[in-house]
Amino acid sequence: MGFGKGYGKVILFNEHFVVHGVPAIASAIGLTTDAEVVRHSGKGIELIDNRKGTKGYSKEKMEHQKEALRRVMDYLGFDVEKNPIRITLGGNLPTFSGIGASAANLVAIVRALNDEFKLGLSDEEVNNAAYEGEKAFAGTPSGIDNTAATFGGLIWFKRGEKNIIERLQIKKPVEIVMGNTGVVANTKEVVAGVRERKEKYPEKYNKIFKEAEELVYEAREALLKYDLKRVGELMNENHKQLQAIEVDGKELNFLVELARDNGALGAKLTGGGVGGCMVALTPGKELQEKVASAMEKEGFQALRTVVG
């Protein structure tokens, strides 16, 4: 039996903008998807998904998952007809949209394959294989999700011919709350929608993208100085920019406002948007609990975790 794991993630700044070459900041979170791979006597791939999360997520994403596995196997040159396998997915990372569940599961599967079949893959090669699979979920993924899922930690990421990936070190980890809207988003469609609108309204969109680029450099400085008040303010500003490119949603905006009203230093959507998750900056266990409880009182799921 082969075993592997991939981290969940939160994008703190510049989802969507990152697809178009603007830098972004993301962090792995302390939750993982685990994968077990065993050889079996059936045909091809048998997939058992024991992950918990948003109702209907696994069913809704099943076609994407099958395409992702095909892409990964092709990329690795792995013949599942000659080597039929059973993949079992588990772990404590829930299947919410916006938390990097697809990337985490792909990284975990590649690592489990690597473990069982002694493929000799480096972390970089694991990351590249997972990126290939991510195309099934996101169309044109930036690569930030699979990078966080593979390497962990807090990262500065800029997409390009060769992606720039830099580890950021902050003074100490900081508590966050991730609120789940319960809405399963089609990331591929949302990413394509931004691209279409950017082509249709270049002047408007170029201005927003430029502002997002300026903001993320300031956010990087604030994080490195551990100026959490400023980090929160910039998260609020980044949410406005994401609203301006039309990737927010009613439930997301409600949770963002609720978090701020309960003392979060900043809050914004995270991930693909439209549905999925938002993130609130809540340093200290007491504030984290207050914000998470407020979300749960309203009937939403809240994850308490840390970044950095």
* Catalytic residue positions, numbered: 145
Give the list of residues 6+ apart from residue 187 with CB closer than 8 angstroms, or none: 97, 102, 137, 138, 139, 271, 272
Task: Give the other-Cβ count within 10 Å of 153's Cβ.
Answer: 14
Which residues make Cβ contacts (< 8 Å) with residue 113, sequence separation at least 6? 2, 4, 37, 76, 78, 85, 119
d(CA 8, CA 98): 9
With a CB cutoff of 8 Å and minimum separation 6, the contacts of 188 are: 64, 137, 138, 139
- Angle at alpha carbon of residue 276, lines to 154 and 88, rounded to 5°: 75
